Chain A
Amino acid sequence: MRRKSSWLSVVAAAALSGAVYISAAQVEGQEPLQSIGPGEGFVDIVAWPGYIERGETDPAFDWVTDFEADNPNCKVRVKTAGTSDEMVALMNEGGFDLVTASGDASLRLIAGRRVQEINIDLVPSWDKIDPRLHNAPWHTVGGKHFGVPYQWGSNVLMYNTEVFPEPPTSWEVVFETMTLPDGESNKGRVQAFDGPIYIADAALYLKYKNPELGIEDPYALDEDQYQAVLTLLREQRKIVPRYWHDPFIQIDDFTNEGVAASSAWPFQVNLLRDAGEPIESVLPVEGATGWSDTTMMHSEAPHPNCAYKWLEHSINPKLQGDLAAWFGSVPVRLDACKGNELLGDEGCEINGLGNFEKTEFWKTPVADCGGGRTCVPYYRWVTDWIAILGGR
């Protein structure tokens, strides 16, 4: 009995590891599509929750129905993913056409050859995109575009106005142990984002506070800079009771848990403000990190024609404005900011359009960070982040 089962597992292991090799070999270089043919029936998209709405949550927010009406051969199927990790895992599995990847996942998808180059000639509205995003380093590698920008936003400093009668000006209120304006310590009353990418937030703060470290890009840290950042984060661990990753948990923590300040998305700020809570947000002097999402196409997309049609649809001004209103983000084309009923004429400003220049957008840290420097790659960010959360 024992011999038999071990024999079986050896065979299965051999078969499975063989399969892994084959799929790795298949994703080698590929030419992008040169012209769009007829639709293949479906387009499968991995997206953040709330990113692709067909009016089921709120009938006013619907940008799928009109796409399907114009392209009856392309029914949209959405798989939502709650974290960048989940998105990468789903793309590794395959079977999807598109993914709305944030900057911390996009370079990893490109390096892992999970996504293919986009032929921008097949996306007629490409030129309408905010030119600052055309060659953004989180989707452009070696002059090739691996996706179409979708939406962006900044990680703002959210604070309780009863604790801060005057807006805080620096991220120090969440990084250093100090007494807040209401006379009590910030220990146990501040939060930080729960993700290895938050290491960049600490690096951004040090870049301003400690110029002699010579931090240029918070996503490209050499060993010394990296260690200084980790030291700061270990100190921060002592005043942070819990790190947030789910916006709704953070909303709850600001209402029920007495949290006074934290990094947050405009999404939470809008919801809390609308609910009448004493919450505001500010972009501190150090600037902020931010996310800029890109719709990328799988290297083995089963429905490339429909995918290209969606890419073009994804940047039409109506969709861009509606989505910005729904998600609290900023459109990638500026003409979407005007004349959108749901967003309102002030919508883009409220969601942080003016913050672009002060925002360091998420990208995956890689070892080869250019200029002959060697930087600490992302997998070490993960290991060290886990250690910091555990108090090491």
Chain B
Amino acid sequence: MTVPDVIVAASPVPPRRPSPAQRVSTALYRRPQLLLLLLLALPLLWLGVVYLGSLSALLVQSFFYLDGFTGLVVRSFTLRTYGDLFTQANLDIITRTTVMAGTVTVSAAILGFPIAYYMARYASGRTKALLYLAVMLPLWSSYLVRVYSWKLILAKEGIFSWFLDQLHLTWLLDAVLATPVIGGTSLSVSYIGTYLVFVYIWLPYMILPIEAAIERVPASMIEASADLGARPGQTFRKVILPLVFPGVVAGSIFTFSLTLGDYIIPRIIGSSRMFIGQAVFAHQGTAGNIPLAAALSVVPILIMVVYLTIAKRLRAFDAF
């Protein structure tokens, strides 16, 4: 920006008129606030209007109610739509979805941690690349194709039960499926099936953040811990786990919120009992009950707020 001045100082000829681009550049240099505003205008517009705007339109809708007689939405403030959330059927849906999201998250963390640990600490070169590929590869194919193929795997006359049959373990599957609530006539029509597919689909989102967090733990710290006499278990509990915990929480935010919002997996695999996303979809369409759909979609937002607050209490964001 100061180039013209330098030229002026060095040459005896009268100063050239600065070009328009230079003048704009100078003006912006003198008003850093304006520059900042211009640079941020587009992202702010996106965040403010598109993102917060749609979110608040949703909130506003949830305070209206559906007139039962005309079937039209009455646009006046009321809390009765939120009252409808407390019917037994809706509480069931909310509990079902939250318990599923929690179980899937814990399972994904337990499954994902050893894999991530191996990837970060032991695998190198070709093995590491292969492991990355193995974790990422499912993400490159269509989500729907993967869910539908799981339906075939878990079907009553599918690959999985055939495999168990070859091992003469059908009695074991039957015993598991006889469990009340989570069981059913086959894996593909039970909560167990829904759960297995959820874990499969969201596992990469758990492994990758944990892997990144383990990579950041300096090897010297682990050596120092051993030097000071800590047994491997102690090192793991006192050194590795606290340092990696933010990564686990980051992964759990993905798996938890993704399970909370998904409405396709439970529609294809499971016993037709609805999850929050499916209920929202059912209310907004032909029924035209947009207020109840909006109130139901506020529920996962509230659950996530609680979840993030707990994560913050656990100091999970301190490393970021």
Name A's B-contacting residues (CB within 8 A).
5, 8-10, 12-13, 15-17, 20-21, 83-89, 104-105, 108, 111-112, 188-189, 194, 196, 240-243, 245-246, 249, 252, 255-258, 364, 366-368, 377-383, 385-387, 389-392
Contacts and interface: CB of A to CB of B under 8 A. Distances in A.
A111 B188 CA distance: 40
A249 B268 contact: yes
A242 B285 contact: no
B184 interface: yes
Contacts of A108: 71, 286, 288
Contacts of A382: 282-283, 286-287, 289
Nearest to A89: B285
B157 A256 contact: yes
Contacts of A392: 88-89, 92
Nearest to A5: B52
Given A13-B56, A377-B68, A390-B273, A241 B186 contact: yes
B53 interface: yes
Given A85-B281, A256-B152, A242 B55 contact: no
A85 B273 contact: no
Given A379-B71, A382-B289, A386-B93, A257 B283 contact: no
Interface in B261-311: 267-268, 270-274, 279, 281-289, 292
Contacts of B281: 85
Given A112-B72, A257-B188, 20 more contacts: A13-B59, A17-B60, A85-B284, A88-B288, A111-B72, A194-B272, A249-B268, A256-B152, A258-B157, A364-B286, A367-B71, A378-B286, A383-B289, A383-B292, A386-B89, A386-B274, A387-B89, A390-B93, A390-B274, A392-B88
A370 B184 CA distance: 43
A390 B271 CA distance: 9
A19 to B, nearest CB: 9
A112 B188 CA distance: 39
30 contacts: A5-B52, A10-B56, A12-B49, A13-B53, A13-B60, A15-B53, A17-B60, A85-B287, A88-B286, A89-B284, A105-B286, A111-B70, A188-B184, A242-B189, A243-B272, A246-B268, A252-B152, A256-B157, A256-B158, A258-B185, A258-B186, A368-B69, A383-B84, A386-B89, A386-B93, A386-B274, A387-B87, A389-B273, A389-B274, A390-B89
Chain A facing B: main interface SS: helix
Q: Which of B188, B287, B289 has the most CB of A within 10 A?
A: B287
Given A8-B52, A12-B56, A392-B92, A257 B156 contact: yes
A12 B48 contact: yes
Contacts of A381: 287
Name the residue in A84, A242, A389 with the highest tally of chain B Cβ atoms < 10 Å from its Cβ: A242
Contact of B288 (A21, A112, A258, A391): A112
Contacts of B56: 9-10, 12-13, 16
Contacts of A89: 284-285
A115 B55 CA distance: 28
A212 B110 CA distance: 59
B312 interface: no
B57 interface: yes
A13 B71 contact: no
A242 B286 contact: no
B60 A16 contact: yes
B155 interface: yes
Nearest to A24: B75
Interface string B151-172: 1100111100000000000000
A256 B93 CA distance: 29
Interface string B62-84: 00001011111001000000001
A9 B186 CA distance: 48
A112 B71 CA distance: 9
A377 B57 CA distance: 26
B108 to A, nearest CB: 25
B278 to A, nearest CB: 8
